[in-house]
Structure formats: C-alpha cells, structure tokens
Amino acid sequence: MKILRILIGLLAGLLVAAALAMVVVYVVTNRHLNKTYRVEVPHIVTSDDSVTLARGRHVAEIRGCTQCHNPDLGGHVVIDAMPLLGRIMSANLTSGRNGVAAQYKSDEDWVRAIRDGVRPDGKPLVFMPSYEYRSIGPADLGALVSYLKSAKPVASPPLKETIGPLARVLYLLGRFPLIPAEMINHTDRTFTEPQPGETVAYGRYLAGPCAGCHGRHFSGGKVPGTPPGWPLAANLTPDSATGLGSWNYAQFSSFFDTGRTPDGRQVDPKVMPWPVVRAMTDSERRALWEFLRSLPAQPKGSG
Ligand code: HEC
Ligand code: HEC
C-alpha cells in the first residue's frame, strides 16, 4: 500500500509540474503574440486600371494567396486540429462582413501585412507566410494590393482563432512558423524585380517561394517544419540520377497542369502545391525552367 501511495504522490507531482510548464509556455508565447512592431514600409503605386488589376490577380494566384485566402479572398480555416494544434483561419481580405479591408487605411497597411506579417495595429499576424513575400518586387506588389483593394465584399464567419498547446511548444522549439514577423529582417528594404521574360533572372525571381521547401540550392530534401515521414522535396537541379536531368520542358510544364511526373507518379497537392504553379503562364514556366536548367547539378538533399 505504501508503494501505491508513493506512486500516486509521484504522479500528482508530475501532473503539477506539467501544468506549471504549460502555464509558462502560454505566458511566454502570449508575450510574443502581443508584441508591437513598428515597421516602415517602402512606397508602392496602386491603380485601378484593368491591366494592373489583372496583373494583381495573377500575382495573387501564382504566389498562393488565393489558395489560403480563397479565390474570392473571403478566407477559410487553414489549420483545424483542435485541441492540440488549434484552429487558425486565414483572414477575409475583403470589405464584406468580418473582412479586414475596413481596418486598412492606406496602401502601407497592406504592404506591412504582406511583407512584414504585421497588422495595422502593430501586432504580428500568425502563420501568414510573409517571409516568402519579401521578394515580391514593387510593381508586382503594387498590382497585388490594387487587386486586393478591388475585391468584391464577401461575408465570412467571425474570426475565432485558437492557438493550441502543441503549436505553442513547437513554436518555442523553432519547429512551427507561428509568428512570421519574428523571422523577418524588417529593416531590409532590398526589393528587386527583374523585367518579365523567359530569362534565368526572371525565373530566379519566380522560384523564390519554391526555395522554402526545395532548399536554397533547390536540391530538395526534408521540408522544414514537416512531421517525420513527410515526403522529401524533389531535387530540382539538373542532376540526372536524382534531379530533373532527364526531364524536358514539355514534361515540366505538364507537371504544373496535372501534378503527374513523367514516370506517371501523381503528386499530392497538399505536399507539393502544383495547383498554385498551374496558374503560371507558359512564359513564366519557361523562365522557371531556364533558371532551374542553369543551376549546377547537385545530389538530392545537399541544400
Ligand atoms: C499558408 C496560408 C497563407 C498564404 C499562402 C497566404 N496567407 Fe495571408 N494569412 C494567412 C493567415 C492564417 C492569416 C491570419 C493571420 C492572423 O489571423 O493572425 C493571414 C492574414 C493575412 C492578412 C492580414 C489580415 C488581418 O488580419 O489584418 C493579409 C493582408 C494577407 N494575409 C494577405 C495575403 C496575401 C496578399 C497573400 C499572397 C501574397 C497571402 N496572404 C498568402 C494565411 C496565408
Ligand atoms: C510546400 C512545399 C513546396 C513548395 C512551396 C514547392 N514544392 Fe515542389 N515539391 C514539394 C515536395 C514535398 C515534392 C515531392 C512530392 C513527392 O515526392 O510526392 C515536390 C515535387 C516537385 C516536383 C516533382 C519532381 C519529382 O520528380 O517528383 C517539381 C517539378 C516541383 N516540386 C517543382 C516546384 C516548383 C517549380 C516550385 C515553386 C514554384 C515548388 N515545387 C514549390 C514541395 C514543395
């Protein structure tokens, strides 16, 4: 009986320790979530002419905005894993019911949210991948904001977000991009945008977001932040053993439309967002191809 009492005592002690640890996790993460950022943003030019709006819509498609915020920009639940991870919604970007557009007073407010991950009130956005949008050039960003401002009002349910304990712990361990504003150097204003064309330079510009998963040198490997067992990102360098060495342009372009590789493998759009790249024009695909072809062949997973 004595041993049982000791065991119960131990168990109770462990529970109290776990509860205390959780309190610390919540206090620390809430402090990060409530931090106020002051960031200065570059000036952009917006307009409501139809060429600019069409360009902005295209940028929203090929950068994945419409995938997370919906084609009508009304937003939806992007993570729904209660109670552990929580429930995170992408915002309704329109001026409809529960949309954010009414709080956005200037173009700078939009730029700050998109490039810096910071709301008009200075608080950080959660899980909005602004670090991927630092490289969007001024003309594209101007067109994108013009398009967002022109969106038809869409009504959405109220934003009720919960950030669960697992998301907080993973964030503190550096394994979950909960607060992208913390991952960004807000004073870096370098902002380049090569002339559109079927060139290596423009392909490099378009390939910016691919690097987040395929690696800085595009040789693939583990996708940061994914659970064990998640498919490795493919090697996009021209290596013939593990990369795209044996692909031709027609096969590359067709992969964008179907998600099917030349050897007939169907790639899951949740793992590799090929429906996003499907929106790229032939000319953009060619630029990407020229860029990937210009890379040195590297074995898979070398960065
Ligand atoms: C991986 C999904 C994802 C993608 C891709 C994405 N967003 Fe977001 N975005 C979110 C989430 C989630 C939020 C809500 C953040 C919050 O509530 O703190 C958000 C918030 C925003 C906000 C701020 C809304 C507010 O509450 O003030 C803007 C503006 C925005 N996104 C624009 C864009 C644009 C433009 C793009 C494309 C360049 C884009 N997003 C791509 C997930 C995404
Ligand atoms: C969210 C992460 C992610 C992003 C962003 C991403 N990819 Fe991928 N991609 C993957 C993963 C993971 C695979 C491997 C899928 C598999 O093997 O089932 C893959 C596979 C591919 C393949 C198929 C190659 C093969 O042999 O299987 C091509 C081509 C490709 N990606 C090109 C791109 C390009 C170009 C971009 C940018 C425009 C891009 N990817 C952006 C994760 C991503």
Q: Does residue 273 line the site of ligand 2, with CB under 6 A?
A: yes
Structure tokens at 84: 């552990």
d(CA 207, CA 103): 32
Probe residue for ligand 2, chosen from 135, 214, 247, 263 as the CB with the greatest number of ligand atoms within 8 Å: 214
Atom 37 in ligand 2: which residue has the minimum CA distance?
A: 210
pLDDT in the model for residue 226: 81
Q: Whose CA is nearest to atom 36 of ligand 1?
A: 65
The finding on whether 261 has its CB within 6 A of some atom of ligand 2 is yes
42 Cβ closer than 6 Å to some ligand 2 atom: no
Q: Is the CB of 300 under 6 A from ligand 1?
A: no
100 close to ligand 1 (CB < 6 Angstrom): yes
Question: Which ligand 1 atom is the nearest neighbour of the CA of 64?
Answer: 5
260 CA from centroid of ligand 2 (Å): 11
Determine the atom of ligand 1 nearest the C-alpha atom of 161. 17
Interatomic CA distance for residues 77 and 89, integer angstroms? 4
Q: Which ligand is nearest to the CA of 274?
A: 2
Q: What is the pLDDT along the chain (303 residues), one digit of tens a residue?
A: 688 888 899 999 999 999 999 999 999 999 999 999 999 998 999 999 999 999 999 999 999 999 999 999 999 998 888 888 899 999 999 999 999 998 999 999 999 999 999 999 999 999 999 998 998 999 999 999 999 999 999 999 987 889 999 999 999 998 889 999 999 999 987 777 899 999 999 999 999 889 989 999 999 999 987 888 899 999 999 999 999 999 999 999 999 999 999 999 999 998 999 988 899 999 999 999 999 999 999 999 986
Closest ligand to C-alpha of residue 258 is: 2
Does the beta carbon of 213 lie inside 6 Å of ligand 2? yes
Q: Is 101 in the pocket of ligand 1 (CB under 6 A)?
A: no
Query: Does residue 142 contact residue 51 with C-beta atoms inside 8 Å?
Result: no
Q: CA 275 to CA 255: how far, in whole Å?
A: 10
CA 173 / ligand 1 centre spacing (Å):
23
Which ligand 2 atom is the nearest neighbour of the CA of 256? Answer: 29
Measure the CA–CA gap between 24 and 286, rounded to whole angstroms: 51
Ligand nearest to the CA of 66: 1
Per-residue model confidence (pLDDT) at position 90: 94
Instruction: Kindly identify the ligand whose nearest atom is closest to the C-alpha of 98.
Output: 1
8 Å CB contact between 181 and 41: no
Nearest alpha carbon to residue 241 among 294, 291, 299: 299
Structure token pair of residue 90: 């992408």
Residue 142 near residue 52, CB atoms below 8 Å: yes
Predicted confidence at residue 201, as pLDDT, reads: 96
